[in-house]
Amino acid sequence: MAKSTVKFKESAAAFEAIGKDISAGRFAPVYLLMGEEEWFIDRLADRLAVETLDEASRAFNLTIVYGRDTAVGAIINTARQMPMMGSRQVVIVREAQQLRKIEELQLYTANPSPNTILVLCHKEKNLDKRTQLYKQAAAKGVVFESARPRDYEIREWLAGFVASRGLKAEPKALEMLVEHLGMEISKISNELGKLLLALPEGTTHLTPDVVENSTGFSREFNNFELCKAVCTRAEARAMSIADNFARNPKEHPLIVTVMSLFGQFRQIFIYNYLVWQSRRQGKPMPSDVELMGLLRLPGPWFVGEIRTAAAQWPNKITFKVLGLLREYDAKSKGIGSGGLSDGELLRELLLKIFLAR
């Protein structure tokens, strides 16, 4: 099966568009919600369950089944039934990827009932787009592809998610949340929901202090601060953070730290190359807005930091650092680590980075 080419940003935009249609009462007879990011799929299915039927109708006209516990024939029979005491019914098939002979649902999607909304929650992967079921769902209803975010995409989404709750997040606070919560949208949504409920009334800004007080995640000892210390050649500060990481290895796995540093030095390398092109080849230097896209930065504030860091790390050295980071990425996975702990490996890596010439 071909890998989906839909990007997370496109999934997020489609999620918002479908949500607006649901709120406006524009419903399709079939929804095929598929892909790797479960949060989008679950939220859309929940909204369809709640917003298509009033509370009284749900008792009679909302049917929820699970793929592994039901058969295609039973789903088709239910979807063909007339709603009771209402104008429509909703049939939601959760974990549809576990449904045996799912392609036989084409017998229904070829001519879906106008009184039924069938919702297929096909998680973990996409339905084969070559099948008649997919083609009919796309032609007669709505197909939604749910892609997982890349590391450079999650910050922008998180900023928008926070903004939708009436708050503005400072850049460092966003970095702390990303590091603390990871890239699982479901986890971010749940944990951020708890955090927002705990905020004092009248809070309008999400600051590093607020994140630290609400989550216990240190604003001084995290990968954001480590990358900043390394890129500004603040060796003592970087080693101090490394010592803190060594004392809390479960909270700061080496593989995540190496990925953070690699991303930062990759941005420095690209920026330096663009400067070289501008000086040697006469190509115009991209604007800050263009640099945000090229470097995959969440905001203009970060462009200045990369510009400052690039002056400290010429590409001759940056290239060596990227090689070191690849080496220690392997060691973080146990390849050639010599039995050293994550803390020892991180200190060793930082020393080699600062000594690189």
% of the chain beyond a pLDDT of 70 = 97
70-79, 280-289, 315-324: least confident range: 280-289
pLDDT tens-digit series, residues 242-289: 998 898 888 888 998 999 899 999 999 999 999 999 998 888 999 988
Q: How far is the C-alpha of 84 from the C-alpha of 61, rounded, in Å?
A: 6
345: CB partners within 8 A, 6+ apart: 254, 328, 331, 332, 337
Strands (E), 137-204: 142-146, 168-169
Same domain membership, residue 234 and residue 181: no
Domain that holds residue 30: 8-146
Q: Answer with the one of 188, 215, 242 that is the final residue of a domain.
A: 215
Average pLDDT over residues 180-184: 76
Question: Around 218, how many Cα atoms within 13 Å sit in the side-chain half-sphere?
Answer: 12
217: CB partners within 8 A, 6+ apart: 176, 179, 180, 211
Tokens found for residue 223: 């990968």
Tokens found for residue 153: 């995409």
Same domain membership, residue 184 and residue 243: no
Helix/strand/coil percentages in the chain, nearest 5: 60, 10, 30
pLDDT tens-digit series, residues 222-232: 888 899 999 99
Same domain membership, residue 120 and residue 101: yes
Residue pair 115/27 in contact by the 8 Å Cβ criterion: no
89-98, 101-110, 248-257, 312-321: least confident range: 248-257
At residue 154, the pLDDT reads: 83
Q: Answer with the one of 146, 167, 191 that is the final residue of a domain.
A: 146
Average pLDDT over residues 166-178: 82
Q: Per-residue pLDDT for 3 more than 60?
A: no
Q: How far is the C-alpha of 241 from the C-alpha of 84, rounded, in Å?
A: 63
Q: How far is the C-alpha of 294 from the C-alpha of 356, rounded, in Å?
A: 26
1: in domain: no
DSSP state of 35: E
Same domain membership, residue 75 and residue 132: yes
2: in domain: no
Tokens found for residue 113: 């009932």
Give the residue from 347, 345, 346, 271 showing the smallest Cα distance to 308: 271
CATH at residue 323 = 1.20.272.10
79: CB partners within 8 A, 6+ apart: 91, 108, 112, 113, 116, 118
Same domain membership, residue 234 and residue 122: no
Q: How far is CA 289 from CA 188, 193, 350, in A?
A: 27, 31, 32
78: in domain: yes
Q: How far is CA 70 from CA 12, 100, 102, 134, in A?
A: 31, 9, 11, 20
Same domain membership, residue 313 and residue 229: yes
Q: Answer with the one of 198, 215, 232 that is the final residue of a domain.
A: 215
- The phi and psi torsions of 169 (rounded to 5 degrees) equal -100, 130
168: in domain: yes
Tally of structural domains, the chain = 3
Question: Residue 181: exposed, middle, or buried by beta-carbon count in 10 A (0-12, 13-18, 19+)?
Answer: buried
Give the residue from 84, 137, 83, 75 showing the smallest Cα distance to 115: 83
3: in domain: no
Give the residue from 101, 110, 178, 174 showing the smallest Cα distance to 139: 110
Same domain membership, residue 73 and residue 51: yes
Same domain membership, residue 233 and residue 131: no
Pairing type for strands 89-94 and 142-146 reads unpaired
Same domain membership, residue 202 and residue 119: no
At residue 4, the pLDDT reads: 62
Same domain membership, residue 99 and residue 15: yes
pLDDT band with cut points at 50, 70 and 90 for residue 12:
very high
pLDDT band with cut points at 50, 70 and 90 for residue 1:
very low
Same domain membership, residue 298 and residue 203: no
32: in domain: yes
CA 116 vs. chain centroid, Å, equals: 32
Q: Per-residue pLDDT for 210 more than 90?
A: no
CATH at residue 49 = 3.40.50.300
Average pLDDT over residues 145-161: 85
pTM score above 0.85: no
Average pLDDT over residues 60-80: 94
CATH at residue 187 = 1.10.8.60
DSSP state of 190: H
Same domain membership, residue 335 and residue 291: yes
Residue pair 37/7 in contact by the 8 Å Cβ criterion: no
